[in-house]
């Protein structure tokens, strides 16, 4: 027993090689095995043992909407109340930005006031840019939003902006309050933490389904989804930020006699403000991402343009709207980052100046808004950017893609075929062939080996859930696509990261490239991929690789960079060549960071994978997408949970690996 | 005549670990080191008795981990002591309600922190006025008071600066100004100068003594620097492993260290900085011819040049101006070359 244990736990090769060999053998011969034994359960989970979660969840949702009541009011009243609460500010923002204010309905409507003119909106953003940082940022804002006006994307962009404007404050404040609650009450934190974990791993599509069911198709449902999606990171950031306030600052508050409320709002939160602003930046970027995706349940705006273009395979229109999203994402990201790092004005004497001198930008914005409003009676172009002056890049993009497809079709096709034949298909065959029962056993064993018996049981049970709800095959397709994408993303990303870590100029260029990649809403990645490679697994892989590469690069660079300089000096004085330095010192020391990067890559890949269902994969993502189109809540939630469970297993196992690597090298904390 | 006791702490304990208070009360509020160890507990503050008198500078000295910071946090009840009594102006702080405690802190206590603990989003003026803001003092009144203390600590002209624009020494001046804004009766300073460079530290110590000469606060001063302790203190409590080893004036500490541990600290201290004229003078001698007068409480360092330059001894006067003895060149030389080690 002891001997067995020692072999099992210590000899790495003796564990991993047999596991792989058995898995491969079973995967390759499961079908003949089933024929030979006549046991169909080997390849298919027996129907009579299947869990009927889907139907139960759907029935529950039905009950919730139709019959549930809290005594004084029904569940439906509640959702209507929430709708009304969100609808009012949303229509105000929309009226202010694009539709204009009016009284009455339909043909009786009387215009009361027009929306802000495009000039006024741009001036406002320029003012914010200058206030938050400098003229350079102001110019960037002018450039970005000017682009939207000139290239005819203004109306859609304003609809999207209105959604973001409403979702961000609700998401940020809600996240802040929940975070404060968690900071104050440890019990609440232990309750909320698993929920946050799950929220981060459940694919976005799958909570679009119940929201669609509860709130109906339309902007309000989209906003609810956006808020739910963007809030969890704010909760996390808030907890971290509040914990990060030095204990002395806390003590100062107590010693000057703050009440509990004063301590929180006058001492701790202002001191944590810089970190909190990082959270707000995240909320903004996530909201934008989700508002685009939520166009599927009625958000409208730029996302809807992309979606319709994708459906019509309208190459030019898709790229046009996609570029507009990119432009807007960059503008919002830079602006909110500038606000996050903004330092208060240096010493200034306020007493001698009047209001206009103290608030030059505020006054300018008001003057421009009113001025353009009045001017628009004479020159309508000031109010709405004239259609005749818009430029369309649609045809240009269509031509470009057309040119590429005509001239490089062979090359692209060759690349695609090589990947499909030598990588995608063999891997797919391997994973899809794995019998479900062995899958459960193998995940339990791996979990046990890496993180102890608890982790083993967890991954076993979660894997069993996936098999039991009858999604084994689709889950394996997801695993295969995710695995291949992560492999390719790491193969490109990790060397890039290492290169960036060793070369400052490369670091700057790669760094800004990665930053930009990360600000883009996930939807955008689909456009060029579909244009060039059409639908299918290969397109999905390319999109996922692009989206998920960032953490691989970042963590590799950070890991190599943060190797203890004394170790490198020790290597140098021992006479290491640069190559030896990299392979013998830097990389081994950076291993835990590389593993964490891999972990993040997997999580991002899974979240993107679900979105690639739009370009025709046959995995869990497709299952969720189908559920969305049919508004089948049960199906959506079950498939979503399956994706989340795959993510959780991968996350826990890799984290355990990283911890082990760290402990081994004495870096444990 | 001794001044009244402002802060009196009796058998104060702070034990960290699970079920600390149960173990504490099971052993009648006096668990031994072995008991603590057996239960996996850490006694950060153990059976501390201190009396702090009005107007004195009381220094708590100890190396890191000796429990001095925990003790001062117990005294201000930033940390809840496991057991004991802390009487502040006769009232037990451990049984006062939250509301009363807030009132006491607002009106009667001030504290200065090691890392300055200035609020980063407020200017010097706003930081200084913060304790008053919390109490709801109107803006003009609190800013007027804040300007006064800012001037007192020598930062006039920098009211509109933010903490990050100031040097470490200046930041701590703001910390001091803030703690003085409410005119506290009891002033806690938790290693206020430890984060500063040695030269700045000295300057700040002088500044601190100057302020104390103006204000005559009751002060609890924490430090790990023995030189700082003897320079500033009226009385010193030396702490080791959570216990107070000795409470004495700097002079007594040097002349009569209670344990080897205390002696270890005092060994390298220059005697002339600690010993007073009274400790080495010769009694009587009213008829001896002298060339001048020195006070009994003056440190040898302060009068060394004077005495050494004169061929004749000096008359020693006590606090009421009565001649109580004489002191000559030889006594000073004995101190300076280290011949006087014990009383």
Structural domains for chain A: 116-150+353-383 (no CATH), 159-330 (1.10.3720.10), 401-433+470-664 (1.10.3720.10)
Q: Which of B116, B118, B121 to mutate to test the interface with A (most CBs of A within 10 A)?
A: B121
Average pLDDT over residues A129-140: 87
Together in a domain, B303 and B224:
no
Average pLDDT over residues A531-547: 86
Q: How confident is the model at residue A7 (pLDDT cuts 50, 70, 90)?
A: very low
Instruction: Determine phi and psi for A195, rounding to 5 degrees.
Output: -65, -45
Let me know if residue B9 belongs to a domain. no
What pLDDT score does A211 carry?
Answer: 86
Q: Is A262 on the interface with B (CB under 8 A)?
A: yes
What pLDDT score does B311 carry?
Answer: 81
With a threshold of 0.85, tell me whether the complex ipTM lies above it. no
pLDDT in tens, B149-197: 999 888 988 999 999 899 988 999 999 999 999 889 899 999 999 888 8
Together in a domain, B61 and B168:
yes
Contact state of A270 with B119 under an 8 Å Cβ cutoff:
yes
CA distance A253 to chain B (A): 8
What pLDDT score does A105 carry?
Answer: 66
Let me know if residue B37 belongs to a domain. no
What pLDDT score does B343 carry?
Answer: 47
Q: Is A350 on the interface with B (CB under 8 A)?
A: no
Let me know if residue B18 belongs to a domain. no
Q: Which of B114, B122, B130 sits opposite A256 (nearest CB)?
A: B130
Q: In the predicted model, is pLDDT for residue A34 greater than 80?
A: no
The rounded distance, in Å, linking the Cα atoms of A625 and A622 is 5
Let me know if residue B130 belongs to a domain. yes
Residues β-bridged to residue B52: B7
Together in a domain, B292 and B262:
no
What pLDDT score does B51 carry?
Answer: 92
Together in a domain, B229 and B299:
no
Contact state of A262 with B160 under an 8 Å Cβ cutoff:
no
Q: Which domain holds residue B308?
A: 272-337
Together in a domain, B188 and B297:
no
What pLDDT score does A1 carry?
Answer: 45
The rounded distance, in Å, linking the Cα atoms of B206 and B203 is 5
Together in a domain, B114 and B253:
yes
- Spell out which residues of chain A touch residue B109, defining contact as CB-CB under 8 Å: 255
Q: Report the first-to-last Cα separation within chain B, whole angstroms.
A: 24
For chain B, the residue count is 343
- Spell out which residues of chain B touch residue A259, defining contact as CB-CB under 8 Å: 102
Contact state of A271 with B115 under an 8 Å Cβ cutoff:
no
pLDDT in tens, A277-326: 888 888 888 888 888 888 888 888 888 888 888 778 777 888 888 888 88
Q: In the predicted model, is pLDDT for residue B92 greater than 50?
A: yes
CATH of the domain at B294: 3.90.1280.20
Residue A297 and residue A211 in contact, taking contact as beta carbons nearer than 8 Å: yes
Using the 3D structure, point to which of B247, B269, B291 is the last residue of a domain: B269
Average pLDDT value for chain A = 83
Together in a domain, B120 and B198:
yes
CATH of the domain at B98: 3.40.50.300
Let me know if residue B28 belongs to a domain. no
What pLDDT score does A344 carry?
Answer: 65
Q: In the predicted model, is pLDDT for residue A3 greater than 70?
A: no
Let me know if residue B276 belongs to a domain. yes
**pTM of the shown model:** 0.81
Q: Which of B131, B162, B188 sits opposite A256 (nearest CB)?
A: B131
Together in a domain, B280 and B191:
no
Cβ atoms within 10 Å, residue A25: 12
Q: Give the rounded percent of residues in chain A with a pLDDT score beyond 90.
A: 11
Residue A662 and residue A622 in contact, taking contact as beta carbons nearer than 8 Å: no
Contact state of B117 with A270 under an 8 Å Cβ cutoff:
no
Residue A352 and residue A429 in contact, taking contact as beta carbons nearer than 8 Å: no
What pLDDT score does A263 carry?
Answer: 92
Using the 3D structure, point to which of B269, B297, B321 is the last residue of a domain: B269
Average pLDDT over residues B271-287: 80
Using the 3D structure, point to which of B223, B252, B269 is the last residue of a domain: B269
Q: Using CA of residue B326, residue B329, residue B335, residue B339, what is the dihedral sign?
A: negative
The rounded distance, in Å, linking the Cα atoms of B313 and B287 is 12
Residue A244 and residue A275 in contact, taking contact as beta carbons nearer than 8 Å: yes
Q: How many domains does the structure of chain B reveal?
A: 2
Together in a domain, B284 and B206:
no
Average pLDDT over residues A408-432: 87
Together in a domain, B60 and B78:
yes
Q: How confident is the model at residue A351 (pLDDT cuts 50, 70, 90)?
A: low
Together in a domain, B131 and B144:
yes
| Pairing of β B314-317 and β B323-327 | antiparallel
Contact state of A257 with B135 under an 8 Å Cβ cutoff:
yes
Q: In the predicted model, is pLDDT for residue B266 greater than 60?
A: yes
Q: Which of A244, A252, A346 to mutate to test the interface with B (most CBs of B within 10 A)?
A: A252
Let me know if residue B1 belongs to a domain. no
Let me know if residue B8 belongs to a domain. no
Cα nearest neighbour of A253 on chain B: B131
Together in a domain, B204 and B282:
no
The rounded distance, in Å, linking the Cα atoms of A291 and A298 is 10
Q: In the predicted model, is pLDDT for residue B285 greater than 80?
A: no
The rounded distance, in Å, linking the Cα atoms of A86 and A83 is 5
Stronger pLDDT, B52 or A37, i.e. the higher one: B52
Q: In the predicted model, is pLDDT for residue B112 greater than 90?
A: yes
Spatial strand order of the sheet with B323-327 comes to B282-283, B323-327, B314-317, B293-295
Q: How confident is the model at residue A345 (pLDDT cuts 50, 70, 90)?
A: low
Average pLDDT over residues A527-547: 85
């Amino acid at each position: 027993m002891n001997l067995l244990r020692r072999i099992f736990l210590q000899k790495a090769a003796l564990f991993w090689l047999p596991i792989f060999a058995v898995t491969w053998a079973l995967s390759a011969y499961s079908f003949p095995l089933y024929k030979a034994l006549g046991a169909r359960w080997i390849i298919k989970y027996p129907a009579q043992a299947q869990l009927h979660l889907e139907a139960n969840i759907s029935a529950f949702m039905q009950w919730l909407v139709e019959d549930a009541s809290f005594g004084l009011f029904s569940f439906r009243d509640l959702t209507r109340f929430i709708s009304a609460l969100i609808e009012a500010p949303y229509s105000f923002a929309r009226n202010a930005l694009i539709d204009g204010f009016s009284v009455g309905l339909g043909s009786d409507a009387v215009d009361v006031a027009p929306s802000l003119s495009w000039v006024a909106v741009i001036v406002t953003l320029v003012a914010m840019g200058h206030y938050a940082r400098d003229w350079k940022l102001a110019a960037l804002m002018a450039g970005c939003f000017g682009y939207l006006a000139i290239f005819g994307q203004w109306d859609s962009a304003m609809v999207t902006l209105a959604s973001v404007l409403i979702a961000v404050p609700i998401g940020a404040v809600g996240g802040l309050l929940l975070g404060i609650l968690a900071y104050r009450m440890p019990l609440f934190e232990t309750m909320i933490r698993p929920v946050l974990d799950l929220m981060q791993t459940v694919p976005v599509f799958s909570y679009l389904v119940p929201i669609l069911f509860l709130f109906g198709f339309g902007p309000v449902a989209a906003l609810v989804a956006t808020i739910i999606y963007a809030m969890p990171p704010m909760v996390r950031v808030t907890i971290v930020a509040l914990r990060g306030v030095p204990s002395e600052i806390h003590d100062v508050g107590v010693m000057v006699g703050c009440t509990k409320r004063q301590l929180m709002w006058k001492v701790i939160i202002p001191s944590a403000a810089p970190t909190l602003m990082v959270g707000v930046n995240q909320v903004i970027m996530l909201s934008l991402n989700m508002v685009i995706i939520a166009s599927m349940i009625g958000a409208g705006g730029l996302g809807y343009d992309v979606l319709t273009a994708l459906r019509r395979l309208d190459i030019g229109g898709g790229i046009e709207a996609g570029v507009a999203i990119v432009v807007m994402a960059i503008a919002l990201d830079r602006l909110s980052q500038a606000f996050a790092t903004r330092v208060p004005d240096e010493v200034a004497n306020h007493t001698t100046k009047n209001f206009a001198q103290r608030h030059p930008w505020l006054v300018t914005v008001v003057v421009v808004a009113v001025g353009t409003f009045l001017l628009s009676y004479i020159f309508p172009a000031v109010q709405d950017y004239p259609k005749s002056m818009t430029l369309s890049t649609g045809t240009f993009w269509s031509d470009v893609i057309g040119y590429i497809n005509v001239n490089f079709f062979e090359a692209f096709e060759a690349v695609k075929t090589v990947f499909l034949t030598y990588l995608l298909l063999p891997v797919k065959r391997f994973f899809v062939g794995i019998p479900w029962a062995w899958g459960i056993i193998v995940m339990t064993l791996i979990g046990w080996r890496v993180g102890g018996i608890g982790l083993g049981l967890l991954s076993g049970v979660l894997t069993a859930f996936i098999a039991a709800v009858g999604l084994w095959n689709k889950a394996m397709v997801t695993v295969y696509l995710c695995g291949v994408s992560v492999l390719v993303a790491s193969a490109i990303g990790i060397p890039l990261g290492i290169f960036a870590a060793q070369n400052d100029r490369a670091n700057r260029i790669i760094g800004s490239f990665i930053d930009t990649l990360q600000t883009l809403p996930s939807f955008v990645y689909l456009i060029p991929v579909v244009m060039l490679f059409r639908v299918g697994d290969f397109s999905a892989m390319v999109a996922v690789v692009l989206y998920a590469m960032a953490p691989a690069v970042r963590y590799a660079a950070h890991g190599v960079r943060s190797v203890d300089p004394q170790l490198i000096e020790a290597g140098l004085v021992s006479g290491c060549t640069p190559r030896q330095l990299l392979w013998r010192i830097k990389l081994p020391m950076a291993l835990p960071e590389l593993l964490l990067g891999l972990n993040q890559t997997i999580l991002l890949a899974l979240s993107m994978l679900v979105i690639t269902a739009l370009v025709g994969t046959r995995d869990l993502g497709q299952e969720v997408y189908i559920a969305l189109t049919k508004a089948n809540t049960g199906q959506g939630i079950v498939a979503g949970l399956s994706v989340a469970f795959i993510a959780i297993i991968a996350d826990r196992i890799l984290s355990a690996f990283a911890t082990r690597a760290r402990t081994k090298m004495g870096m444990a904390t | 005549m001794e001044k009244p006791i402002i802060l009196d702490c009796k058998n104060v304990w702070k034990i960290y670990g699970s079920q600390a208070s149960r173990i504490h009360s099971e052993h009648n509020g006096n668990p031994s080191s072995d008991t603590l160890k057996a239960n996996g507990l850490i006694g950060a503050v153990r059976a501390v008795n201190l009396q702090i008198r009005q107007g004195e500078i009381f220094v708590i000295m100890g190396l890191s981990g000796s429990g001095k910071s925990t003790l001062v946090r117990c005294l201000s009840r930033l940390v809840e002591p496991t057991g004991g009594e802390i009487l502040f102006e006769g009232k037990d702080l451990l049984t006062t309600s939250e509301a009363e405690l807030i009132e006491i802190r607002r009106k009667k206590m001030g504290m200065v922190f090691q890392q300055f603990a200035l609020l980063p989003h407020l200017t010097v003026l706003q930081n200084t006025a913060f304790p008053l803001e919390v109490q709801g003092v109107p803006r003009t009144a609190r800013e007027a008071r804040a300007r006064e203390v800012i001037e007192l600590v020598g930062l006039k002209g920098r009211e509109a600066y933010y903490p990050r624009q100031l040097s470490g020494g200046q930041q701590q001046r703001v910390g001091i100004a803030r703690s003085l804004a409410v005119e506290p009766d009891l002033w806690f300073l938790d290693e206020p100068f430890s984060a500063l460079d040695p030269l700045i530290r000295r300057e700040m110590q002088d500044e601190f003594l100057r302020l104390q000469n103006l204000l005559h606060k009751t002060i609890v001063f924490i430090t790990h620097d023995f030189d700082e302790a003897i320079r500033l203190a009226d009385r010193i409590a030396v702490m080791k492993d959570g216990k107070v080893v000795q409470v004495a004036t700097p002079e007594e500490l040097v002349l009569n260290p209670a344990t080897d541990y205390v002696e270890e600290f005092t060994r390298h201290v220059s005697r002339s900085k600690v010993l007073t004229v009274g400790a080495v003078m010769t009694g009587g001698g009213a008829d001896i011819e002298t060339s001048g007068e020195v006070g009994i409480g003056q440190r040898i360092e302060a009068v060394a040049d004077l005495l050494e330059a004169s061929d004749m001894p000096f008359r020693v006067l006590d606090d009421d101006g009565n001649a109580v003895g004489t002191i000559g060149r030889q006594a000073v030389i004995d101190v300076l070359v280290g011949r006087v080690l014990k009383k």
